Amino acid sequence: MAYVNNIKMFVRVFELGSMSAAARDQRTSPAVASARIAELEKRLGVRLFNRTTRRLQPTENGRLFYDGARKVLEAIDDAEAAVMASTQNLRGTVFVAAPLGVGRRFIAPHVPDFKDAYPQIDVRLRLSDRKIDVIAEGLDMAFHLGMLEDSTLKMRLVAECPRILCAAPSYVERRGDPGNGDRLVGDKHDCLNLRFPGAPEFQWTLVTAEGPRRFEISGPFETDDGDVLTGWALDGRGIVMKPLFEVAEYLREGRLVPVVTETPPVPVQLTCLTQHRRLRDPKIRVFTDFIIARCRVDLAQALAGRSASDPQVEGDTPPDVMAESGH
């Protein structure tokens, strides 16, 4: 088992390019991670990494060993999954990531119930609004809110999510409602934008009479936390683009009001992304089914709470259109 653990550590160091990052990923110390790599190099009689002050670079032998090491770990995972499937003795750990708003509202509240139903399965939930690399970060799955780029991952559609541009009444009183994207940009309205390393430039894609169109927006504030954006909008600091489920309550209460309604935002999808081979693992399948079913109920309830007088939002569709899709 020690040799397998050494191989696991090597694979994560190779993928993350850092001993300390791999140690955090494997829930151990950098000293233990370094010792495991040293043991592996001693056993193989070759150097697997060249150490530099900034990053570990795999040697040619390291690159050769990585391909085989991944296959070994995948074979072990597949064997364990086959045994669990035949005995229904589900155990192990599920590693999952989600955007902050989605994770806090629709995933985290149901993790304790899942644990009660499957006491031998642990859950490691990571919440972040930044872009997640499922494979590089060693995740079993990641919930994604947005338009999905080309991907080799298996995609399961959770829901179509309408979005809305909104602001506090105090902001509208002070600056007015621009009405459409052209005036939003031309009048230099304060736009509150989600920004994180690797994020695209400040552009909002809005639905115009000619079809979807990108608008170059600007504003005094940016953050990598969607809930912080909502707080700034409530404080009257600018216009924010949000999934409707995140601000439906504030719209009902009148603390936020719809703006730029002539050119609404393009709706987005909430999806669950999984590596194809991980779906053979029964613990991954049961967690995915469990959480998605509850996400759909919660989303439907959040949107159903809007009053009949609320304005129609682009992409606002009944919950029964939610479906699954392969990608």
Tell me: the pLDDT tens digits for 183-220? 999 999 999 988 765 555 578 999 999 999 999 999 98
Quote the pLDDT of residue 321. Answer: 34
Stretch among 9-18, 94-103, 147-156, 245-254 having the lowest mean pLDDT: 147-156
Whole-number average pLDDT of the chain? 84
Higher pLDDT residue, 243 or 198?
243
Q: pTM of whole model > 0.85?
A: no
Q: Which pairing describes strands 92-98 and 141-146: parallel, antiparallel, or unpaired?
A: parallel
Is the domain defined by 2-86 classed in CATH 3.40.50.2000? no
The answer on pLDDT for 119 being more than 60 is yes
Indicate the pLDDT class of residue 276, thresholds 50, 70 and 90.
Answer: confident
Quote the pLDDT of residue 216. Answer: 92
The answer on pLDDT for 237 being more than 70 is yes
- The boundaries of every CATH 3.40.190.10 domain in the chain are 90-161+268-321, 163-258
DSSP-derived secondary structure for 237-259:
S-EEEEEHHHHHHHHHHTSSEE-
Quote the pLDDT of residue 153. Answer: 83
The answer on pLDDT for 82 being more than 80 is no
Indicate the pLDDT class of residue 53, thresholds 50, 70 and 90.
Answer: low
266/283 Cα distance (integer angstroms): 35
Query: What CATH number was assigned to the domain covering residues 90-161+268-321?
Result: 3.40.190.10
The answer on pLDDT for 172 being more than 80 is yes
Stretch among 4-18, 74-88, 95-109 having the lowest mean pLDDT: 74-88
DSSP-derived secondary structure for 145-205:
EEPPPS-SSEEEEEEEE-EEEEE-HHHHHHH----SHHHHHHTT--EEEE--TTPPPSEEE
- The boundaries of every CATH 1.10.10.10 domain in the chain are 2-86
Closest residue by Cα to residue 23 from 2, 9, 5: 9
Stretch among 127-141, 182-196, 298-312 having the lowest mean pLDDT: 298-312
> What's the fold here for domain 163-258?
D-Maltodextrin-Binding Protein; domain 2 (3.40.190)
